[in-house]
């Protein structure tokens, strides 16, 4: 199978590659090898860990933890290659000191001890926010040609890519509340905000963060910049989770351009003992190619020893990307397609591998909520769609097609999920 390469040009925007997959499949090693391969080609490269269980220092065989080496800032490991493991505590104090202090003061004023207050002042998801802000800054300042993100296991990776939308939704609600707070109530809120000042004043500082996250969101869904590379092993359970991950990344508007099947037993292992396992792996590899077509699928062999250190990583990169470049984009598909059929507006959402899973849709003002199992996605609609109601949804050939028709009643019903709007389910 041939794949068209969209090669990085010197004059074009930097490249962002997310390496994701089930825990234990070798994401960090493949992310590190990809970085080593890009750097060897003369590209200014950063490999950043967005997994709280950082292991880049182990992958590059460094003496000591990265957080102790450079306080969570990038560390140069070879020519053109930096690596970074974000120190959340340091980042909060370095860039978000005022907000961090305000939250800490508010918690301490409620009677909480100082150490616990500082720990709880780091809100859930802040590590994701900090990493996204770094991506936005590095690209804005053109500090790197290629940024490779060593992601956490699949579920947390999905939380990471959904963080800009989550923060956007939260801040929209907060600003709406602020707008309607009567002036007589504001002094009370200021008193409740603690000694550091008004929580309403802090909203202005959050606006800056919101703008930067918005830029990061645009970067993540721009298929000329960003793509996801899924790592898996040739095992049934891992393949099934990888297929689900692919579906969810499509749901979030991400472009998946490659699947790397790691730890394939080489021909030298075909000595009788591993014969059955080699046959199973080869069958699984064919299944992966069929399921993910037209996405490029590559394989990496099981090495006789652990892969770490820059020399071994460069060796692995040479085998992984033999005959093609690690920074190229190998597939571009738009997960969302808006079109019109007479008086009916259509939205097609690519959701590969949904099968018989129930897809629930909720329409709320200018957004559509798509829920599959425990995952939920808010899709902001064009004005022409926002004034209409989703009436029928059909699932066929890996696409969910939703028909929007003129609303008969502008008042929406309350859905079971807590979002306003009518609920409809997709037909298979």
Least confident piece of the model among 37-41, 279-283, 380-384: 380-384
What's the gap between Cα 396 and its chain centre? 26
pLDDT at 300: 96
> 412 falls in which pLDDT band (50, 70, 90)?
very low
Q: How far is CA 75 from the centre of its chain?
A: 23
pLDDT at 410: 44
Instruction: Give yes or no for residue 208 having a pLDDT over 80.
Output: no
Average pLDDT value for the chain: 79
> pTM (2 decimals)?
0.77
Percent of the chain beyond pLDDT 90?
36
What domains can be seen in the chain, in order of their start residue? Answer: 15-89+126-320 (3.40.50.300), 336-425 (2.60.40.790)
- 343-to-338, 355, 383 alpha-carbon distances in Å: 14, 30, 15
pLDDT exceeds 50 at position 26: yes
pLDDT band at 120 (very low <50, low <70, confident <90, very high): low
pLDDT score recorded for residue 273: 87
Handedness of CA 366, 372, 373, 374 (dihedral sign): negative
Cβ–Cβ < 8 Å for 71, 78: no
Helix 199-220 and helix 126-140, axial crossing angle in degrees, nearest 10: 60
Answer left, alpha or beta for residue 17, where phi above 0 means left and psi between -120 and 50 means alpha: beta
Which alpha helices (H) appear in 50-122, and where do they start and end? 56-59, 66-70, 88-95, 97-109, 114-120
């Amino acid at each position: 199978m041939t794949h068209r390469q969209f090669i990085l040009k010197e004059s074009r925007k930097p490249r962002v590659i997310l390496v994701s997959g089930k825990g234990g499949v070798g994401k960090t090693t493949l992310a590190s090898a990809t970085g080593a391969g890009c750097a060897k080609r003369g590209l200014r490269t950063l490999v950043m860990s967005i997994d709280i269980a950082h292991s880049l220092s182990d992958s590059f065989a460094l003496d000591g933890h990265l957080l102790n080496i450079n306080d969570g800032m990038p560390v140069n490991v070879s020519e053109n290659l930096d690596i970074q493991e974000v120190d959340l505590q340091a980042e909060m104090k370095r860039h978000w000191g005022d907000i961090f202090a305000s939250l800490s003061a508010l918690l301490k004023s409620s009677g909480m001890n100082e150490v616990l207050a500082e720990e709880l002042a780091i809100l859930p998801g802040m590590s994701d926010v900090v990493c996204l802000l770094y991506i936005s800054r590095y690209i804005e300042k053109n500090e790197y040609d290629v940024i490779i993100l060593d992601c956490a296991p699949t579920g947390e990776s999905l939380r990471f890519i959904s963080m800009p939308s989550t923060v956007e939704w939260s801040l929209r609600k907060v600003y709406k509340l602020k707008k309607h707070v009567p002036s007589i109530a504001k002094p009370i809120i200021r008193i409740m905000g603690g000694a550091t000042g008004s929580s309403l004043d802090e909203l202005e500082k959050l606006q800056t963060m919101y703008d930067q996250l918005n830029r990061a969101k645009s970067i993540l869904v721009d298929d000329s910049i960003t793509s996801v590379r899924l790592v898996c092993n040739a095992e049934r359970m891992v393949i099934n989770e990888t297929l689900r991950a692919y579906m969810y990344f499509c749901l979030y508007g991400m472009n998946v351009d490659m699947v790397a099947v790691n730890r394939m037993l080489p021909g030298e292992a075909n000595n009788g003992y591993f014969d059955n396992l080699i046959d199973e792996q080869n069958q699984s590899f064919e299944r992966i190619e069929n399921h993910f077509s037209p996405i490029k699928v590559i394989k990496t062999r099981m090495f006789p020893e652990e892969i770490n250190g820059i020399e071994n990583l460069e060796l692995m990169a040479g085998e992984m990307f033999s005959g093609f470049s690690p920074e190229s984009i190998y597939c571009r598909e738009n997960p969302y397609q808006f079109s019109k059929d007479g008086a009916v507006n259509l939205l097609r959402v690519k959701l590969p591998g949904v099968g018989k899973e129930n897809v629930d849709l909720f329409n709320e003002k200018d957004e559509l909520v798509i829920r599959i199992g425990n995952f939920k996605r808010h899709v902001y609609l064009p004005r022409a769609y926002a004034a209409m109601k989703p009436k029928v949804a059909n699932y066929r050939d890996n696409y969910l097609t939703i028909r929007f028709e003129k609303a008969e009643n502008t008042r929406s019903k309350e859905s079971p999920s807590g979002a306003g709007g009518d609920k409809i389910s997709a037909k298979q």
